[in-house]
């Protein structure tokens, strides 16, 4: 019997343990991927802690997967895939294909979205089965350890920016310079925006500038963030990558007329925004999900073209528990990535 290893948790909030499983064969419309790298995303905590309906244990998380197609299931070769293809699978792990959003081509908001680690075993292992519609081709210029994080973190910020109301030359502020924000600044600059980095502490100014930001706002300086943004002329778009409702709320009055707040940082606390802040200036607040497999492919191609890479710390699968805890503690600089081999 051929086996492979996965890092799993057997109860909500429990530690990871390495176990061996029998290697599965892909069903119709699936491929088996030999996982080379898988990023650890803060969203993985939702699955590890059983915080979403339908999560079952033992649980294998991981939705920033990069590897190679190992075995093709029935019907996948006709879709243009071959053994050996380099592929990534992100938060978008497949859709139902028959709901109203899917029939309209808006697959990422499918009510039956198949997120790896939720709908099926994720990438914290040596192999994974994935639906063929979840696959994104990895450019040769990208290492697997770079491609994995781009399948969730990268596509979320890149897609959030390119689907925003901002146009080249507009002023875009990126709230947070962490796992999402450090990519957001790089993408904003490459997309031609006058880019403002917002974070806590004067010491992060140099880092923001190294990422390419034209301006830096220290949210702890004593000057309100909104006032600092308005002193620059107001932000046409704020991309809120920090998962902190209070910090997100503090940017709203810094938006220019018709400005847009794009929220991608998750927090369960309500934002303190009142209608008067939106009405007179015609401001817009919206949430932005991740992106489809094609969006992931676009993100990786754009990143390869512009030399954009996530800042990662790679660790072997054997150390999954330690790497996950480091991510939870906010000590990752900036994306933890599990590797095989």
State pLDDT tens for residues 29-44: 999 999 999 999 999 9
Residue 321 to residues 12, 58, 338: CA-CA distances in angstroms?
Answer: 14, 15, 10
Residue 1: predicted pLDDT: 73
Residue burial 323-337, b: 16+ Cβ < 10 Å; e: rest: bbebbeeeebebbbb
* Token pair recorded at residue 30: 């699936």
Q: 273-298, pLDDT tens digit by residue? A: 999 999 999 999 999 999 999 999 99
* Mean local confidence (pLDDT), 331-341: 92
Q: What is the mean pLDDT of the chain?
A: 97
Going by pLDDT thresholds of 50, 70 and 90, the confidence category of residue 106 is very high
Q: 293-317, pLDDT tens digit by residue? A: 999 999 999 999 999 999 999 999 9
pTM of the model: 0.96
Residue 44 and residue 91 in contact, taking contact as beta carbons nearer than 8 Å: no
Place of tokens 């491609």: 147
Helical H runs in 64-203?
Answer: 100-103, 144-149, 155-162, 181-190
Q: 198-219, pLDDT tens digit by residue? A: 999 999 999 999 999 999 999 9
pLDDT tops 90 at residue 333: no
Percent of the chain with pLDDT over 70: 100
Going by pLDDT thresholds of 50, 70 and 90, the confidence category of residue 325 is very high
Residue 306: predicted pLDDT: 98
pLDDT tops 90 at residue 63: yes
Residue 78: predicted pLDDT: 86
Residue 166: predicted pLDDT: 98
Residue 171 and residue 236 in contact, taking contact as beta carbons nearer than 8 Å: yes
Residue 238: predicted pLDDT: 98
Residue 230: cis peptide before it, omega within 30 degrees of 0: no
* Mean local confidence (pLDDT), 222-250: 98
Residue 185: predicted pLDDT: 98
């Amino acid at each position: 019997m051929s086996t492979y290893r996965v890092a799993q948790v057997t109860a909500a909030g429990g530690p990871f343990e390495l176990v061996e499983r029998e290697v599965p064969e892909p069903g119709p419309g699936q491929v088996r991927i030999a996982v080379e790298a898988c990023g650890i995303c803060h969203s993985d905590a939702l699955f590890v802690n059983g915080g979403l309906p339908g999560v079952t244990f033992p649980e294998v998380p991981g939705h920033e997967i990069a590897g190679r197609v190992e075995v093709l299931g029935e019907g996948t070769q006709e879709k243009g895939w071959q053994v050996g293809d380099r592929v990534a699978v992100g938060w978008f792990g497949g859709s139902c294909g028959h709901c109203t959003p899917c029939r309209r081509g808006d697959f990422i908001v499918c009510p039956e979205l198949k997120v790896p680690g939720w709908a099926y075993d994720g990438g914290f292992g040596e192999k994974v089965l994935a639906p063929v519609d979840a696959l994104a081709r990895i450019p040769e210029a990208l290492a697997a350890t770079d491609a994995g994080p781009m399948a969730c973190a990268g596509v979320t910020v890149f897609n959030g920016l390119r689907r925003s109301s901002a146009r080249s030359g507009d002023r875009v502020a990126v709230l947070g310079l962490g796992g999402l924000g450090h990519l957001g600044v790089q993408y904003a600059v490459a997309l031609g925006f006058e880019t403002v980095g917002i974070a806590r502490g004067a010491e992060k100014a140099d880092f923001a500038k190294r990422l390419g930001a034209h301006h830096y706002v220290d949210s702890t300086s004593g000057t309100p963030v909104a006032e600092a943004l308005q002193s620059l002329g107001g932000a046409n778009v704020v991309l809120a990558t920090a998962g902190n409702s209070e910090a997100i709320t503090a940017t709203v009055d810094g938006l220019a007329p018709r400005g847009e707040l794009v929220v991608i940082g998750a927090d369960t606390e309500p934002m303190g925004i009142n209608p008067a802040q939106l009405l007179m200036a015609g401001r817009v607040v919206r949430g932005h999900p991740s992106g489809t497999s094609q969006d992931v492919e676009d993100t990786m191609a754009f990143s390869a073209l512009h030399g954009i890479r996530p800042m990662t710390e790679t660790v072997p699968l054997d150390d999954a528990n330690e790497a996950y805890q480091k991510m939870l503690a906010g000590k990752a600089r900036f994306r933890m990535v599990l590797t095989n081999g």
